[in-house]
Amino acid sequence: MKIVLHQFASFAYGVSRSAGNRARAGLLGLTALCALSVAPATADTVRLVALGDSLTQGYGLADGEGFVPVLQDWLTQQGADVTVINAGVSGDTTAGGLARMDWTLAEPADAMIVALGGNDLLRGLSPKTSRENLDGILARLKLERIPALLVGLPAPGNYGPEFKNAFEAMYVDLAAKYDVPLYPDFLRPLSEKADAGMSFRDLMQDDNIHPNATGVQEIVDAMGPEVLQLVQSVAEAEG
């Protein structure tokens, strides 16, 4: 993973339930809905919001090739009754994600993938600040009784051991604090190839920043089972 993030380190990713939760769905919710990529849903469909940056948003990819639609297709193929909502914003940091929680939750959400921190890392922002922002997001989800999957990224060594340890520890610590599952590395397929001394250019777009369609598919294939477990747990709790 050090190799992967060293190559990413000079730019940003974005070239850039409770009754109370459901009661907020009104005119503001309709506005938010228009701004999000939403698949058709039935009354019992689990609404899974993917909160993230350009990796979630699908930067540089054709319709249907980004993380959210590919994940939607993968989950559907597993028999999951779920709608994955794209709340990814290119270039967003943990601060941005926290700031738009009201807007993101304007429509009902049954579960959330929280995949933020990459831009904080690439900009060298303080892990302490990133931790506080992620803590705010997870605290809000706990208050709203919305289950979450926290998705992290390992830090490269060029920031120094203190930074690396603090950045990586925030995901582990917060997952434990809020009792949510942790998927440690969004870019796991790329990391694994890098760790094996292999090139991962075949999984990247020409900008060498964002995964291409093949890369996204591998990312979803790797992360999918963790997401499916979250969706199934929500469905069982609501059933």
| 6 assigned to active site | no
| 18 assigned to active site | no
H or E element at residue 194: helix 188-195
Of 120, 130, 191, 210, catalytic: 210
Report how far residue 61's alpha carbon sits from residue 17's, in angstroms, rounded to the nearest whole number: 32
Residue partners of 73: CB distance under 8 A and separation at least 6: none
Alpha-carbon torsion, ordered 39, 96, 125, 211, to 10 deg: 20
Of 37, 54, 130, 191, catalytic: 54
Of 81, 102, 207, 221, catalytic: 207
| 210 assigned to active site | yes
- Catalytic residue numbers read 54, 207, 210
